[in-house]
Structure formats: structure tokens, C-alpha cells
Structure 1
């Protein structure tokens, strides 16, 4: 199968590199490869990945809870982590932003931090990896939103107000199966102000970790297309993190997009985090997402470096296996190109302008 270019809506590679605590920010490990994880530059090129949203995520203190083990059970309700201190989140956020900057600087043009769709297209044309800065859980931003403006000036173009723990802006959907996403209160007044300011700055508001009440708060407030960077269909896998048909319909009406999440607990009908998940599970979700959203509003949001993905994919170099399976399922080349990258660039242009 001819390699399909891919723009990915979500990965946690910056966290993996930052946690190495190396003077170069993990640049050598990323640029040369062979250091584990799901994404590095050689494997990205092998798999066709030309760009994506690179998430900054501040991990919680897990207090001895084995989250991955819990999500291998038939049913689970992972304890919700406590809110993060802002100083801790700001230090981690600056550290991961600096990691991306060091990688780009050391790459000699092989990695480009992009702030517009034109810059993404330019990077793609010259064979560079286009990295867009994203924050997953806005704990580093205080209610005065000063940090939002500073980070935007540094390249931030996408923000998820919450991860699965609560913060000053709202409440996240827990790692709970089976469960509705309607699990608690929505955005706070500070969260509503954050949404309005993201709209003003033309920053994507990522809905993927918000609970259902928070989702509808954003839907009422934002004039931008609704985007869930890495989420799946609740009708196929009834996980609290997946989106209901009503939510999918709202995203379609707004001209937004959902990025298919390859984390196996969101793909499997039994909700388990297991690598032996067939790629037919991804195809089932895409069937449902396209049925509700249309073929112009679905992309990829892999969750590489943040989850267990199907062993048939393995890592970013295995993306062609995913598209081979989707083609065998019945998706034609035109739809596969839309899913792989065209839809992402189109929705980013609708949010950012240009």
C-alpha cells in the first residue's frame, strides 16, 4: 500500500522526552530514534507522520494506583486524581515547551514548530515534521489568563481545559467503564472565561477530556468549530471518555472534528486496555463516527506515548497497517486521505483562519 501522509491530533511524546531529564531535552533521543516509546523522527518518517498536535500534559501523583492494570479489568472506576498545584503545572509546562523548542533547534530544519496551517503545509512540502503545541489540562494557566497569552505568543494553538481530574476551569470525564459521560458539573465561571478568550485568540478548544456538562457549556459559548482531538463513539464503547451520538451531532453541526483515539480501552467493546485488540475495532468506531459526523469531520488522534495501542500498529511506524486494515474494511483512498490529514488541516484553518 502506498504510504499515506498523516497529521495526528494527539500524542504525549513531549512528556516522555521531558521525563528523561536530559540537558538537550531529549532531542538526540527523538531525532536519532531507538530509545523506546511510540514516536521519534525516524519512525515518524517511516510511518508517514508529517505533523500533529504535541501535547503538554502534567502527570498526577498516582499514589501507588496502577491505572493501566485497573483498565484491564471487565469494569473499572479509576480514582480521580487530586487537582494539581499551579506552580507544579507551570514548571512542567515550561519544561515540555522548552523540550519541543530544543528538539526543533537541534533538528536542523527536520522539525518545525507551526502556528498556522500555511506553516504546516510548508513543513509538509519540505519534508519536515510539523509540531503544533497543545496543552492537555490547563492547570498551568491561572484564572487571570495571563499565561494563556504568553503561551499563545510562544506557539500554543490548542488547549484542553481539563484532563480527567478537576481544576479551576472545570471537571473531566473519569476513566470509568461502563459509564455515561454525564458524570458531574461543567465549566466554572473561570472555565467559561477561558473558552471566550481561546475564541478571541483563535485557539482550538479540545473537548476530549471534558465531561458531558462541560462539553455542552463549550458548545453554548464558543463560536468556533467543536473539536475533540482524541475521542471515540460511546455507542460502540460505553466509556465515560467517549462521545454520545448527541455530542457527535453537535460537532457535525458546528463544522468540527473528532480524532479517532487508538487507546484500546476506548476502542474495545469491553473497554479493556489490551494490546491484542484487532484493527476491526478501529474500523467499527470510524463507521459510527462517519455515520454521525460525515466523512469530512473525522481524523486521527492516536494517543501515542500516552496509552496502549493495538499491537498490529505498535508505534508510529505501524500507521500504514492501520490504513491497510481500513482499506480492507471498505474505505476508499479519498476517504482515507481525509481521515489521515486533509480534515485536520481544514478544521484548523476554520478555527485559526487562513
Structure 2
């Protein structure tokens, strides 16, 4: 990695889903950059200062809606896919876990699956990408949490109870614009038990995609800081996926954190999924997040490989352009280092370590 780059640890990507998609090329081909696709591969990660992040395991719906074509115009409300069967979700989840574990085996000098903060720091010091396994949508987890124990042993350290579709634990927000995040019921009894089970195992709970009633249910139950790995400011972009001022205040009170989502539909005032989006909108959301949460409560949660990002970024190799725009906007070097990695390191350490607590 170029020594002049600020190291960046990112709170959310969907790269495993892209790598797991079956085709003529293998996941190793895609990760190595022999086939250039999507937003993240090894050469582009190196050139962008990307040293690691939360790699999401997202069990996709059987029929994925065309979000790019649907999320345009003055308003939209995309119908959500139905509940995914557990056996389907488990097969998909295990497949993506396997992809990351095999990449660690095939690229031992370049990538490490990390389960603790010392492992993350050691991997980065050795020049490896530090990958943390995250689940986005808990459809693969049973009510008795047998699968949760197995996945935790395999490396699961962060979990979002829902993607936007409902499941047995909670209700997600729809892709609706304009809309409040107050769109339905809160956690089920099984969802409340899952929050407690995650606390007991020191698995970080991700509030992104969860509706507002579910957010407040988690806030009332959890013993850990409140974290939204990839969400933005509702006052600047009134999407159901973004966080209200009251939610941001609760996150700050818990010493929690929000990762800025790079998806243009959660940045733009018009909610459109369009690449011709200026980086100044990202600065505007970061400014607002910092105002609500303080310098220790904000980081990046790109949503690379899962969304349309501003064309000026293009992919992970464009991260230095965002950092430079923030520098031009008056962000200090100390603040940039917090946003780029140090805040995530602090949050993961406090969530995973029983001795540090909330």
C-alpha cells in the first residue's frame, strides 16, 4: 500500500455476494483483479488505502428488484420481497462464508479473517486486508440460535437483524422516498431474544435497514453501543433508510457510531440512484453526522458492491479522492484518521471486549 495514503477500514460492503455469484470466473479471479468487476478487488483496494472492513453476507431474494431503474423521480416505493425460507438463506449464507474463508486460504499474504481487535491490527501491520464477517439479514438463524453459535465460531462478529424485507425477528424499512423510517412493527419476541444472544456473544448489532420501532426496541434492550454501519441523515435525504435526529441523538448517548453510506439514493435530496452525484453531498452528510455524534461517532460504511456510488469515486481506488475533498473542506488530519479507521477500531474493541463495556 502507498505509505502516503490514510488507511481506511470500512463498515460495509457487499463484495462477498458479487464474488459468490457463479460464472465463468472464480471468486479468486475476481478478488485478485484478473477480472475487473464491481467496486472491490485486491489491486484496487491497495491503491485506495483500503485495509479492511466488515464484509457483509447478504442472502439475496429469489427475485432481486431492479433498484437502479426504480429509484428515480420525485418519489418511489419499491415492493419488498417476501420472507426468505431458512434453508435457502442458510445455503446462501454458508456459501458466502466459505468464499471469504477460501480467499484467506488462497491469499494468505493478502487477506485475513479477523475475530478480535488484536487480529485486525496484526493483519494490517502485516499488509493484509483485515476482513470481519457480518450478516445483513438474519434469515439463516433459527429461533434456538444453533446456527448463530456455528456462525459465530466461523467468524461472525457483526449482525444486522434485517435487510429491508421482514423476517421472524424484525421488520426492515422499505426503499421508500420520501418516507419516515417509522414504517411498521418493532421486534418480535424472537428478535428481542436475538439481541440478548448477540450481547452475550459480543456480536455487534447493526441498526441499518431496521425500522424505527425496531431501532427503539434494540435501544431499550442492548447493553452495547448503538451502531448503524451504513446509514445517512434523514434531514438531508428523507429516505426511509436514513436516521432521524432523535435516532442520531440516541446513538450518541450510547457512545455509538454511524458509518456514512456512499449510495447516492441515501445522499441526494431527491433520493435518486444516480452516479452524477457530487462528493460535496457526502461532506454535507458527514458534517451533519459529526454535529450530532461528535468526532468519535462517525466513520465510513461505503456499501461498495451493493449500490451506485458517486462517479468521481468510481470504486474503492477512489477513496483518496474523498479524503482529499474532506481535507479541502477543513477536516484535520487527526479527524480524517478517526473517520477512516480509528473510530471503527475503537467501536469494535468496545463491543467485542467484555471488560470495556458500553
TM-score scaled by length of structure 2: 0.96
Kindly indicate whether the alpha-carbon contact (under 8 Å) linking 1:33 and 1:41 is maintained by their aligned counterparts in 2: no
SS in 1 for 2:197: helix
Task: For 1:297-308, list aligned pairs within 5 A.
Answer: 297-308=297-308
Partner Cα separation in structure 2 for residue 32 and residue 305 of structure 1:
14
1:197 maps to 2:203: no
Partner of 2:10: 8
Kindly indicate whether the alpha-carbon contact (under 8 Å) linking 2:138 and 2:161 is maintained by their aligned counterparts in 1: yes
Q: 1:157 to 1:165 in 2, by over 3 A?
A: same
Kindly indicate whether the alpha-carbon contact (under 8 Å) linking 1:33 and 1:42 is maintained by their aligned counterparts in 2: no
Partner Cα separation in structure 1 for residue 96 and residue 283 of structure 2:
33
Kindly indicate whether the alpha-carbon contact (under 8 Å) linking 2:263 and 2:273 is maintained by their aligned counterparts in 1: yes
Task: For 1:224-239, list aligned pairs within 5 A.
Answer: 224-239=224-239
- Render the CA deviation track for 1:279-315: whole Å, top value 9, x for unaligned: 0000000010000000101000000000000000000
Partner Cα separation in structure 2 for residue 329 and residue 82 of structure 1:
43
| Superposed structure 1 runs of 4+ greater than 4 Å apart | 21-24
Q: How many positions carry a matched residue from both structures?
A: 352
Kindly indicate whether the alpha-carbon contact (under 8 Å) linking 1:237 and 1:269 is maintained by their aligned counterparts in 2: yes
Task: For 1:160-309, list aligned pairs within 5 A.
Answer: 160-309=160-309
Partner Cα separation in structure 1 for residue 334 and residue 112 of structure 2:
27
Partner of 1:343: 343
CA drift of 1:66 comes to 2.3
Partner of 1:317: 317
Partner Cα separation in structure 2 for residue 251 and residue 47 of structure 1:
29
Kindly indicate whether the alpha-carbon contact (under 8 Å) linking 1:33 and 1:43 is maintained by their aligned counterparts in 2: no
1:120 maps to 2:120: yes
1:60 maps to 2:91: no
TM-score scaled by length of structure 1: 0.97
Partner Cα separation in structure 1 for residue 85 and residue 116 of structure 2:
32
- Render the CA deviation track for 1:212-263: whole Å, top value 9, x for unaligned: 0000000000010111000001011110000001111111111111000000
Kindly indicate whether the alpha-carbon contact (under 8 Å) linking 1:31 and 1:103 is maintained by their aligned counterparts in 2: no
CA drift of 1:68 comes to 1.5
CA drift of 1:120 comes to 0.4
- Render the CA deviation track for 1:47-95: whole Å, top value 9, x for unaligned: 00001000000111337x4221111222100101111000000000000
Partner Cα separation in structure 2 for residue 201 and residue 159 of structure 1:
11
CA drift of 1:35 comes to 2.3
Partner Cα separation in structure 1 for residue 42 and residue 350 of structure 2:
28
Partner Cα separation in structure 1 for residue 59 and residue 184 of structure 2:
23
CA drift of 1:342 comes to 0.3
TM-align CA RMSD: 1.3
Kindly indicate whether the alpha-carbon contact (under 8 Å) linking 2:185 and 2:213 is maintained by their aligned counterparts in 1: yes
User: Which ranges of structure 1 fall in alignment gaps of 5 or more residues?
Assistant: none
Partner Cα separation in structure 1 for residue 88 and residue 241 of structure 2:
25
